[in-house]
């Protein structure tokens, strides 16, 4: 139904949280999932590798290995990400660089070795996992918001550049989602966030995963590119 059966999808940070839900959903849809992780592997998949997304050489190796060991990649989910929250004046330079390096430069490291192959083959679908914070900003998350907004600009540009080669690029912008990342937020802050979400709850990782599968799908989203799909319970429209 999704047209993802047998298609090779490469996911960064597929071992836990939203990434793990994406891997499980794509497994369910018959895709051949290859994913990277930093610390420890997660759900079963066709192919996995430990790879720090901030290392361009390792990511080029990961892409080359998937192509050699599994086959031609069709879809990519740019999911790996971190937070290092603080009010802007208090963000130490190393935390600024760490967040930009993981959340934005990591996307470059993943896609740069792969795009020529997708263009040559004339098909592909990229889904960037950005954030509602990249759309609206958030107090205490200047580094994260900058990186996540950067992902949107990159996705829109690759949507334009990739169109003539049959490569689509779209964004899922999740609202607050029940994973380790949100568990780390103090309870008081969580209550304040919940009060601003019309659906009055955080997203489940599977809800982000299905939106991702939709955009990856050549059947359902074959005419959608450069788009941002906000999955945020009505928090920001």
- Per CB under 6 A, residues contacting ligand NDP are 13, 15-19, 37-39, 52-54, 79-82, 102, 129, 131, 174, 176-177, 179-182
Closer residue to ligand NDP (CB): 4 or 208: 208
Shortest gap between Cβ of 79 and ligand NDP (angstroms)? 5
Which CB atom, from 20 or from 32, has the smaller least distance to ligand NDP?
A: 20
Separation between Cα atoms, residue 151 and residue 6, nearest integer Å: 28
Residues 216, 3: Cα–Cα separation, whole Å: 9
- Active-site residue 144, yes or no? yes
Instruction: Classify the phi-psi angles of 233: left when phi > 0, otherwise alpha if psi is within -120 to 50, otherwise beta.
Output: left
Structure token pair of residue 128: 């960037």
Q: The tokens 């839900």 sit on which residue? A: 21
- The SS3 call for residue 47 is strand
CB nearer ligand NDP, residue 61 or residue 123: 61
User: 17, exposed or middle or buried, with CB in 10 Å at 0-12, 13-18, 19+?
Assistant: buried
Q: How far is CA 168 from the centre of its chain?
A: 15
Per the CB < 8 A criterion, the answer to whether 34 and 8 are in contact is: yes
Are 42 and 86 contacting, i.e. CB atoms less than 8 angstroms apart? no
Work out how close the CB of 29 gets to ligand NDP at its nearest, in angstroms, rounded to a whole number: 19
User: Least distance in Å: CB of 120 to ligand NDP?
Assistant: 27
Nearer of residues 15 and 170 to ligand NDP, judged by Cβ: 15
Find out whether 63 and 114 touch, Cβ atoms under 8 Å: yes
Looking at beta carbons only, is 81 or 159 nearer to ligand NDP? 81
Q: Nearest-CA neighbor of 232 among 203, 195, 210, 212?
A: 203
Sign of the dihedral through C-alpha 8, 30, 69, 62: positive
Say how far apart CA 66 and CA 48 lie, in whole Å.
Answer: 9
Q: Which of 35, 37, 74, 144 is catalytic?
A: 144
Catalytic residue list: 144
């Amino acid at each position: 139904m999704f047209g993802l059966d047998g298609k090779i999808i490469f996911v960064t940070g597929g071992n836990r949280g939203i990434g793990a839900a994406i891997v499980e959903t794509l497994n369910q849809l018959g895709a051949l999932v290859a994913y990277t992780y930093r610390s420890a592997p997660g759900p079963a998949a066709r192919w996995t590798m430990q790879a720090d997304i901030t290392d361009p050489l390792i990511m080029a190796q990961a892409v080359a290995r998937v192509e050699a060991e599994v086959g031609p990649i069709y879809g990519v989910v740019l999911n790996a990400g971190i937070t290092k929250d603080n009010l802007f004046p208090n963000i130490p330079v190393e935390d600024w660089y760490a967040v930009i390096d993981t959340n934005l430069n990591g996307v470059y490291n993943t896609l740069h070795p792969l795009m020529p192959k997708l263009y040559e083959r004339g098909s592909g679908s990229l889904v960037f996992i950005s954030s509602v914070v990249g759309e609206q900003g958030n107090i205490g998350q200047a580094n994260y918001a900058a990186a996540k907004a950067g992902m949107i600009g990159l996705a829109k540009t690759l949507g334009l550049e990739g169109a003539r080669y049959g490569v689509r690029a779209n964004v899922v912008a999740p609202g607050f989602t029940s994973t380790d990342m949100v568990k780390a937020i103090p309870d008081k802050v969580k209550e304040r966030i919940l009060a601003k979400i019309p659906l009055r709850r955080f997203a489940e990782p599977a809800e982000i995963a299905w939106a991702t599968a939709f955009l990856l799908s050549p059947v359902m989203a074959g005419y959608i590119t450069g788009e941002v799909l906000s999955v945020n319970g009505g928090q920001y429209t």
